[in-house]
Amino acid sequence: MIKRVSLALTAAVFALAAGAADLEAKTPPNVLVVAKNIDDIVSLDPAQAYEFTSGEVVSNIYNKLVEYNPADVEKVMPGLAESWTISDDGKTIVFKLKSGVKFASGNPVRPEDVVFSLRRVIVLKKAPAFILAQFGWNADNIDQMVRKTGNDQVTITIAENFAPSFVLNALAARPASIVDEKEAVKNAKDNDLGNAWLSRNSAGSGPFTLRVWRPGESLVLEANKNFAGGAPKMNQVILNHVAEASTQRLMIESGDVDIARNLGPDQIAALRDKAPIKIETYPQAALHFFSLNLKHEKLRDPALWEAMRYLIDYDGIATTLLRGQMKVHQTFWPTGFPGAVEDRPYKLDVAKAKEILAKANIQPGLTVDMDMISSAPFTDIGQSMQATMAQAGIKLNLLPGTSAQVITKYRARQHEMMLLYWGPDFMDPHSNAKAFAYNVDNADTAPQSTTTWRNSWLVPELSARTRAALVERDPAKRLDMYRELQRDVLKSSPWVMTFQAQAQVALRKEVSGFIHGPTNDLVLYRNVSK
Q: Are residues 451 and 391 in the same domain?
A: yes
- Number of CB atoms found within 10 A of residue 338's CB: 15
Q: Are residues 326 and 377 in the same domain?
A: yes
User: Are 311 and 395 a contacting pair, CB within 8 Å?
Assistant: no
The per-residue DSSP string of 18-40 comes to: T--S-TTSPPPTTEEEEEE--TT
Q: Are residues 119 and 252 in the same domain?
A: no
Residue 254: partners with Cβ closer than 8 Å, 6 or more residues away: 3, 7
* 133 domain residue, yes or no: yes
Cα 396 from chain centroid? Answer: 27
Q: Are residues 344 and 484 in the same domain?
A: yes
- How much is the pLDDT for 337? 84
- How much is the pLDDT for 372? 97
* 219 burial level (CB within 10 Å; 0-12, 13-18, 19+): buried
Q: Are residues 479 and 525 in the same domain?
A: no
Q: Are residues 497 and 524 in the same domain?
A: no
Q: Are residues 457 and 524 in the same domain?
A: no
Specify the number of domains making up the chain: 3
- The whole model's pTM is what? 0.77
Last residue in a domain, options 198, 223, 256: 198
- How much is the pLDDT for 456? 97
- How much is the pLDDT for 474? 85
- How much is the pLDDT for 336? 81
* 208 domain residue, yes or no: no
Residue type, 269: A
- How much is the pLDDT for 71? 80
Q: Are residues 311 and 455 in the same domain?
A: yes
- How much is the pLDDT for 11? 45
Q: Are residues 411 and 375 in the same domain?
A: yes
* 50 domain residue, yes or no: no
Q: Are residues 234 and 357 in the same domain?
A: no
- How much is the pLDDT for 69? 86
Q: Are residues 27 and 87 in the same domain?
A: no
* 521 domain residue, yes or no: yes
Show the domain range for 291: 283-503
Beta bridge partners of 95: 84, 154
* 210 domain residue, yes or no: no
Low-confidence ranges of the chain (pLDDT < 70): 1-25
Q: Are residues 523 and 496 in the same domain?
A: no
CA atoms within 13 A on the CB side of 96: 6
